Structure 1
Amino acid sequence: MANKVEFGISQLHVGTYTVDDQGNVTLGAPYHQKGAVSFSPEEQSELTNFYADNIVYWSGYSGGSFEGDLEVAKFDDAFKTAFLGYRALADGGLANVKNATKPSVYIAFQVEGDAESRRVIMYNASLGAITREFATIEEEKEPATETLAVTVTGDNATGVSMASYKPGDAGYDTLFTAPTAPAFAAESE
């Protein structure tokens, strides 16, 4: 039974996405970043019109990449070090280093639905800088969250930017432990 609606986000995992000189993709071990609040990837598409005979002769959309914000309660220090280029200081502090080299990553997570949970993976993503707000405590304590800009380019070899799995799919059970690079199923003739 397919979902009629989906809601929530949990089980946020991030890992490195590397491509060697031959174009082979390796997905690094997934890191479980706890405290997922929201993720808002929006597909970026652009209309292209080709004019001939004084009319729009051909029209089509290009797309497949995504941009959005990933919001969590608080990004772990291990996450910052592994994926955002933060470095430990000699006195024990953790430093945000300007112009730090950041690896390309994949992002995997789970959404719930009225019938079943689904798991989603997005390939070849770039992470921006963490934004947060420090505010005084007023009448009620309100937790502050941290947000990270995300751009998903997609897998260069296959063009796959996002894939989703339902329970029973081969990739569902291993998505958060040993995800694989995208590969299309063989087409039968």
Structure 2
Amino acid sequence: MPENKVTFGLENVHYAPYTIIDGVVTFEKPTPIPGGVELTNEPRGDMTEFYADNMVYYSAANNQGYESTLNIANIPDKFAIDCLGEELDEEDGVQSEYADAKQKQFALLFQFEGDVKAVRHVMYNCTANRPNVNSSTKTDTVEPNANELTFVSSPIVLNNRKIVKTKTTPTTKAAIYDGWYENVYVKGQAAIPEV
């Protein structure tokens, strides 16, 4: 299958919290985040350069992941509970953000459309910041509000290697591509989500 010449669009945004027990990472089943508008990922980590003999004697990349921004139609309450540490009062039906809330890391799955086939991605180790809370008055036209979620995607150790992200290619096996949103893809690991 030929490669995409271009990519465009954002679709199928999902998140999957995870736990680490005795060094084993277990991802939960991915949950959709509907209404993806835009996703930007800015690399973290500078190029390391060492000068000697009046020139760049040694240089190396320092991959510390990405600083990302996800614009979405609305931040789901379940995401706020699962990943931002908000708490739902089952009796009163209100959801609260506490100052001592602990964010939980998660994998972020998404796809960019292409002229040939969509490319599916997973960023394995994301930590989200609290989103802005804002809105504006309605005028003669009604413009929906978009919500901005900022997060950091850092390396995580899977299969004894530090990994930041994975994506599909034109040669990705159909079973892996088709099951991308059923379980978080980890090479060589049986994809058994936490229940």
After TM superposition, the score normalised by the length of structure 1 is 0.88
Is 2:167 aligned against 1:158?
Answer: no
Correspondence for 1:187: none
2:54 and 2:184 map into 1 onto residues whose CA distance is 50
Cα 1:130/1:117, change in 2 over 3 Å = same
Residue pair 1:116, 1:166 contacting (<8 A) in 2 also: no
Is 2:98 aligned against 1:97?
Answer: yes
Correspondence for 2:59: 59
Give 2:177's match in structure 1, choosing from 164, 172, 180. Answer: 172
Cα 1:12/1:131, change in 2 over 3 Å = same
Residue pair 2:16, 2:184 contacting (<8 A) in 1 also: no
How far residue 45 of structure 1 moved from its aligned partner, in angstroms, is 3.0
1:171 and 1:150 map into 2 onto residues whose CA distance is 26
Q: State how many pairs are aligned.
A: 183
Secondary structure of 2:79's counterpart equals helix
- Return 142-151 or 58-67, whichever deviates more: 58-67
- Return 170-179 or 27-36, whichever deviates more: 170-179
Letter in 2 for 1:74: N
1:114 and 1:151 map into 2 onto residues whose CA distance is 29
Letter in 2 for 1:154: P
Correspondence for 1:78: 78
Secondary structure of 2:80's counterpart equals helix
How far residue 150 of structure 1 moved from its aligned partner, in angstroms, is 1.1
Secondary structure of 2:61's counterpart equals strand
- Residues 58-112 of structure 1 show CA distances to partners (whole Å, capped at 9, x for unaligned) of 1222114001111110011112111111112353211122231121100001211
Question: Could you list the runs of 5+ residues in structure 1 that have no partner in the other structure?
Answer: 185-189
Residue pair 1:26, 1:181 contacting (<8 A) in 2 also: no
Residue pair 1:47, 1:60 contacting (<8 A) in 2 also: yes
How far residue 182 of structure 1 moved from its aligned partner, in angstroms, is 4.2
Question: Could you list the runs of 5+ residues in structure 2 that have no partner in the other structure?
Answer: 190-195
Letter in 1 for 2:105: S
Letter in 1 for 2:85: G
Residue pair 1:123, 1:161 contacting (<8 A) in 2 also: yes
**4+ aligned runs moved over 6 Å, structure 1:** none
1:24 and 1:47 map into 2 onto residues whose CA distance is 31
Secondary structure of 2:117's counterpart equals coil
Identical-pair percentage? 28
2:116 and 2:67 map into 1 onto residues whose CA distance is 28
Correspondence for 1:142: 143
